[in-house]
Amino acid sequence: MANTVQTCFSPALYPLFADQEAIVVVVDIFRATSAICTALDQGVECMIPVAGLDEAHRYKQQGYLVAAERNAIMQEGFDFGNSPFHYMDPAVKGKTIVISTTNGTQAIEAAKDASVIAIGSFLNISALAEWIKPQGRDVIILCAGWKNKFNMEDSLFAGALAGLLLEEESFTTLCDSTITAGYLFERAEKDLYGFLENSSHRSRLKNLKLEEDIRYCLTFNTMDTIPVFHDGGIISLARLVNH
């Protein structure tokens, strides 16, 4: 019997999809999950996602390095925002970093009862697909969206990842969200950057002069790192397996 692929367009809808046996792939392309992938790939040992800024503050007071972003802006008094470039620094190697973002960490929070949560981005999409394929589990792609609304970039990722999985006979879908995301990706794949000209969040980042971040977050397969949420922290799957 084939495994299913479903796409959930908003963390607020996740309870309709929740399945403890499934692999949940959380995605927030601009920019939380792209940043988390980058950080772990750069050697960050663990990222601790927290939903609220209060909790982020408490960690900061305890001496942790803390990343905090709201509405695409790094919050004052913290160490990092959610630009992937913040984590391209040899000084982060081996560190634990607490992270709180507008959408991405809220999505991880929504899915926290799932037994397997992986963190996806275009940066690691092929590695992620290759890892998922032999697991024999259903897959739920959870789009962080923008404040619980549908967004285009996370849906494009869902369409791309679903496409890679559905190439295999061992996966199937009857999920309208997944089929629609696939059509969206087909339309956009030759030029994701140009296609997203019309997306609301992309305009939001553009206004903040984050073009370099956008281009980076739309780059395919720069790494094999697969971040997974385990025991309250996000660590590299390779580290978890070798542990």
Point out which span in 124-132, 141-149, 205-213, 221-229 binds a copy of itself (CB under 8 A): 141-149
Query: First and final CA of the chain: distance in angstroms?
Result: 32
User: What gap in Å lies between CA 107 and CA 88, rounded to an integer?
Assistant: 24
The only residue of 52, 77, 130, 149 in contact with a copy of itself, by rule CB under 8 A: 149
Number of residues that bind a copy of itself (CB under 8 A): 27
Which residues, 6+ apart, have CB-to-CB distance to 228 below 8 Å? 116, 117, 118, 119, 234, 235, 236, 237, 240
Question: How far is it between the farthest Cα atoms of the chain?
Answer: 52
Task: Give whichever of 182 and 227 is closer to a copy of itself, judged by the CB atom.
Answer: 182
Quickly count: other Cβ atoms within 10 Å of residue 104's Cβ.
Answer: 28
Task: Give whichever of 130 and 176 is closer to a copy of itself, judged by the CB atom.
Answer: 176
Residue type, 23: I
User: What gap in Å lies between CA 68 and CA 79, rounded to an integer?
Assistant: 8
Applying the rule CB under 8 A, the residues between 169 and 208 that interact with a copy of itself are 174-177, 179-180, 183-184, 187, 198-201, 203
The answer to whether 197 and 29 have CB atoms below 8 angstroms apart is no
| CB 113 to a copy of itself: min, Å | 19
Q: Is 93 in the site for a copy of itself (CB under 8 A)?
A: no
The answer to whether 25 and 128 have CB atoms below 8 angstroms apart is yes
Q: Is 220 in the site for a copy of itself (CB under 8 A)?
A: no
Q: Is 241 in the site for a copy of itself (CB under 8 A)?
A: no
| CB 149 to a copy of itself: min, Å | 6
Q: State the sign of the Cα–Cα–Cα–Cα dihedral 125, 126, 128, 134.
A: positive
| CB 45 to a copy of itself: min, Å | 35
| CB 222 to a copy of itself: min, Å | 25
The only residue of 5, 107, 140, 152 in contact with a copy of itself, by rule CB under 8 A: 152
Q: At what angle do helices 152-166 and 200-207 cross, to 10 degrees?
A: 120
Site for a copy of itself, rule CB under 8 A? 9-10, 12-13, 16, 146-152, 155, 174-177, 179-180, 183-184, 187, 198-201, 203
